[in-house]
């Protein structure tokens, strides 16, 4: 009996010894944990947030190129169920201007309930000023309490201890030291943000904290992603804005690699330049930029030294147009597959017709009668192929034509094109009744061909009128 007890004590001693070696070898991890517990940020309620690790990547599976970072979850709670889209925004204290709240307001207000349930917005408060973080979290909690409760919004912070050196860095491109420090930290902010977001959504969208978004941007993104899959196009980055690091979409499976890429080369060049290199490394040679842009830069002052920044995306469509369902007809000769419906639908498409003659038309026939409040029509490409002489009309009472097409029985003229464009607001003050057609009527022939880029209308909410068959 004593022998058995002695043997048991020897085994226990060996286990304790092995455990001691393990803890000694992992003392850095333990010490870091003790530091976090013993030194909580002052006046700030935080707790450690476990990142939902994406195991689909070989980088994460094998723990290659380990990235040690702890996150403080300041507001919201991660949902274990993966969404379609995670949206990353990094924000710092600015010398001038405050844009984060309007940016979040735009993202949520421009999305339907179904779209909001398919996305999660992750905000990294990347400034080391505690009082600024506390006041910003308070603002977010006040305005977005519902989104926080539903797991649609998360607010994070990463301690300064997790950052590599931010001063004394390489001065590539002869940038000033403070500029190098700023852009290098920005690369690290994005790396930490992506690292946390990697498993939250199937796709990841990078935004800045001073943008406004187009209506139903998520549905448009989903449409373009599906198109790439259907065409079997290999892609690493889809772009929904031509500006900087706004509206860049990635597959979440690529994020572990991208995170390490940004971290390793953080001091070499700005993030948007690094992105181009990463895209090419993943064998996507050409940019895949979609128009119209889904996001617009709205900030007036840069986050770097508060300098004035007037950068705007010319391909972003201002205003909340809401083209209703419709059919589009024309008697102009169409070039190739540039059909008239493409000028009506959102996207890069356009109508391209051969030289129009007097009396030609392009007519939009609404599925249901609608009260139109605003109209914008743009023609031409690079200063050419403008519609030189035409007028815009609204019509009532849909009828069929001999060519098995549709038009309206009577029309009211609203005005003429000027320099290939037509724009009119408060249309309902001139024609308050519901309309069934919008027609572009050519008033004089021209030798040049014509490109109709976009036909956009605003309609009165709830103005569609059901028509019994």
Tens digits of residue pLDDT in 258-279: 988 888 888 888 888 888 889 9
Contact by Cβ (8 Å): 119, 89: no
For residue 97, is it left (φ>0), alpha (ψ between -120 and 50) or beta? Answer: left
Residue 145 host element (H or E): helix 145-149
Which pLDDT value is given to residue 458? 86
Contact by Cβ (8 Å): 260, 308: no
Which pLDDT value is given to residue 308? 45
Model's pTM, two decimal places? 0.63
Residues 372 and 299: their CA atoms lie apart, in Å, by 32
Residue pLDDT, tens place only, 50-97? 556 566 676 776 666 677 788 999 999 888 889 999 999 999 988 766
For the chain, which domains are there?
Answer: 58-297 (3.90.550.10), 326-459 (2.60.120.260)
Which pLDDT value is given to residue 79? 85
Q: DSSP readout, 201-270?
A: EEEEEEE-SSEEE-TTHHHHHHHHHHHHHHHT---S-EES-SSTTSSEEEEGGGHHHHHHHHHHTTTTS-
> Cα–chain-centroid distance for residue 57?
24
**Among 88, 272, 306, residue whose Cα is nearest residue 178:** 306
Which pLDDT value is given to residue 275? 85
Cα dihedral sign for 2, 5, 9, 11? Answer: positive
Residues 227 and 233: their CA atoms lie apart, in Å, by 9
Residues 81 and 258: their CA atoms lie apart, in Å, by 23
Q: For the chain, which residues score pLDDT lower than 50?
A: 1-4, 8, 10-12, 14-43, 45, 47, 301-308, 465-469
Which pLDDT value is given to residue 419? 92
Which pLDDT value is given to residue 290? 84
Contact by Cβ (8 Å): 347, 338: no
Q: DSSP readout, 170-188?
A: --GGG--HHHHHHHHHHHH
**Span between the terminal Cα atoms of the chain, in Å:** 96
Which pLDDT value is given to residue 231? 86
What residues have CB less than 8 Å from 462, skipping those under 6 apart?
Answer: none
What residues have CB less than 8 Å from 367, skipping those under 6 apart?
Answer: 324, 325, 326, 327
């Amino acid at each position: 009996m004593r022998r058995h007890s002695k043997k048991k004590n020897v085994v226990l001693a060996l286990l304790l010894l092995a455990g001691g070696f393990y803890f000694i070898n992992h003392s850095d991890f333990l010490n870091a944990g003790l530091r976090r517990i013993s030194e909580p940020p002052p006046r700030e309620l935080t707790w450690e947030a476990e990142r939902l690790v994406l195991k689909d990547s070989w980088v994460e599976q094998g723990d290659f190129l380990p990235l040690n970072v702890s996150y403080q979850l300041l507001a919201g709670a991660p949902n274990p169920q993966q969404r379609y889209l995670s949206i990353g925004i990094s924000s710092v204290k600015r010398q001038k201007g405050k844009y984060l709240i309007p940016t979040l307001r735009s993202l949520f207000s421009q999305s339907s309930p179904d779209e909001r349930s398919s996305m999660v917005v992750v905000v990294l408060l990347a400034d080391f000023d505690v009082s600024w973080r506390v006041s910003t979290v308070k603002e977010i909690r006040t305005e977005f309490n519902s989104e926080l409760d539903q797991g649609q919004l998360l607010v994070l912070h990463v301690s300064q201890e997790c950052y590599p050196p931010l001063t004394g860095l390489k001065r590539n491109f002869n940038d000033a030291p403070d500029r190098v420090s700023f852009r290098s930290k920005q690369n690290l902010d994005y790396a930490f943000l992506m690292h946390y977001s990697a498993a939250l959504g199937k796709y990841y969208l990078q935004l800045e904290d001073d943008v406004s978004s187009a209506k139903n941007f998520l549905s448009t993104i989903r449409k373009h992603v599906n198109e790439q899959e259907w065409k079997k196009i290999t892609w690493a980055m889809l772009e929904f804005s031509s500006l900087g690091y706004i509206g860049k979409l990635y597959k979440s499976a690529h994020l572990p690699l991208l995170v390490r890429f940004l971290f390793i080369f953080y001091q070499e060049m700005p993030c948007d330049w690094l992105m181009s290199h990463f895209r090419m490394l993943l064998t996507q040679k050409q940019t895949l930029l979609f128009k119209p842009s889904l996001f617009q830069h709205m900030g007036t002052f840069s986050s770097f030294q508060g300098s004035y920044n007037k950068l705007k995306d010319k391909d972003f469509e201002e205003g909340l147009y809401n083209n209703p369902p419709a059919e589009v007809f024309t008697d102009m000769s169409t070039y190739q597959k540039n059909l008239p419906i493409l000028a009506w639908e959102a996207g890069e498409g356009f109508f391209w017709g051969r030289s129009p003659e007097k009396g030609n038309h392009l007519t939009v026939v609404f599925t249901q009668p609608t009260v139109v409040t605003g109209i914008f029509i743009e023609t031409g490409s690079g200063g050419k192929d403008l519609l030189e002489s035409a007028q815009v009309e609204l019509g009532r009472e849909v009828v069929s034509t001999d060519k098995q097409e549709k038009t309206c029985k009577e029309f009211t003229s609203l005005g003429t094109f000027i320099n290939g464009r037509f724009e009119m607001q408060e249309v309902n003050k001139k024609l308050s009744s519901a309309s069934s057609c919008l027609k572009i009527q050519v008033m004089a022939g021209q030798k040049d061909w014509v490109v109709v880029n976009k036909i956009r209308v605003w309609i009165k909410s709830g103005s569609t009128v059901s028509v019994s068959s």
